[in-house]
Amino acid sequence: MTKAYSKKEMLLQLFVGMPLPLSKWLYAFARNSVLPDERAPYFEMTFQNVRDTRLRGDYLEFGVYRGSSFILAARSAALYGLNAVRYFAFDSFQGLPEAEGKMFAHGEFACSEQTFTRIITKAGVPIDKVVKVKGWYSDSLTNNIKKKHNLDRAAVVHIDCDLYSSTRDVLAFIEDIIQIGSIIIFDDWCAFRNEQHPENFGEPRAFSEWRARGAFDNFYEFRSTKAFIMTS
């Protein structure tokens, strides 16, 4: 374990050991000043669009790791008064199921469900609005899950599962719950840019093969992230 990693882990343990509401205040202070999340303006724009178009639906995130984007989504939704939104966390909590290309290895980005839950709770995410779906996507993304949680509309979908196979399963799962106005954010759209044929890997490949892709237009691009909005 490197010194930098050890320091990061120590700070994490200190944070999750703090009582609410102190931990929530500290997280907001850090993100607003000391350690701002550069994705924040784009998430805020996304949820502002949901509010302005009066779109009904939930937030779905696939690949939550330690919850930074999950927390950002909850904070952005709250900023625009979207109090009816539920937050779905889909993850194996065991890391990536397989390797792909030169970028990702089996088991990478593992974070336990307990640690994820503690982090988002301490950051102030309304835990009563959080639904966690644990398991490999090939097993867990089923119609029974939709029925169990009355999941019938997605407003914002954040895909951070990196791999082609995982993204393919996610897109198949959301196909009947997306709607005009739904926004899909691909967190690692450019992850394979150093491969000889990056279009044959990861999220871009899965999206290019998806039969619903023609219904989407570009929404924004930021660094390795690319977002689309459903327009037809």
What residues form DSSP beta bridges with 218? 228
In this structure, are 81 and 174 located in the same domain? yes
In this structure, are 18 and 69 located in the same domain? no
CATH number at residue 136: 3.40.50.150
In this structure, are 110 and 211 located in the same domain? yes
pLDDT at position 113: 95
Q: Which of 167, 174, 177 is nearest to 207 (CA)?
A: 167
Please report, as a single letter, which amino acid is at residue 205.
R
pLDDT at position 96: 61
In this structure, are 68 and 99 located in the same domain? yes
Sheet with 154-159, edge to edge strand ranges: 130-134, 87-91, 58-62, 154-159, 183-186, 225-230, 216-222
In this structure, are 117 and 25 located in the same domain? no
User: Which domain, by its residues, includes 13?
Assistant: 1-36
In this structure, are 123 and 182 located in the same domain? yes
In this structure, are 44 and 21 located in the same domain? no
Q: Which of 23, 28, 86, 75 is nearest to 47 (CA)?
A: 75
In this structure, are 154 and 102 located in the same domain? yes
In this structure, are 29 and 42 located in the same domain? no
- What is the gyration radius of the CA atoms in the chain, in angstroms? 17
Query: In whole angstroms, what is the distance from residue 218 CA to residue 210 CA?
Result: 15
pLDDT at position 1: 44
pLDDT digits (tens, 9 = 90+) for 172-184: 999 999 999 999 9
- Those residues of the chain that have pLDDT short of 70 are 1-5, 95-109, 196
How does DSSP assign 118-169, residue by residue?
Answer: HHHHHTT--GGGEEEEES-HHHH--HHHHHHTT---EEEEEE---SHHHHHH
pLDDT digits (tens, 9 = 90+) for 188-211: 898 877 776 777 788 999 999 999
In this structure, are 105 and 188 located in the same domain? yes
What is the tally of structural domains in the chain?
A: 2
In this structure, are 77 and 164 located in the same domain? yes
pLDDT at position 102: 53
In this structure, are 18 and 50 located in the same domain? no
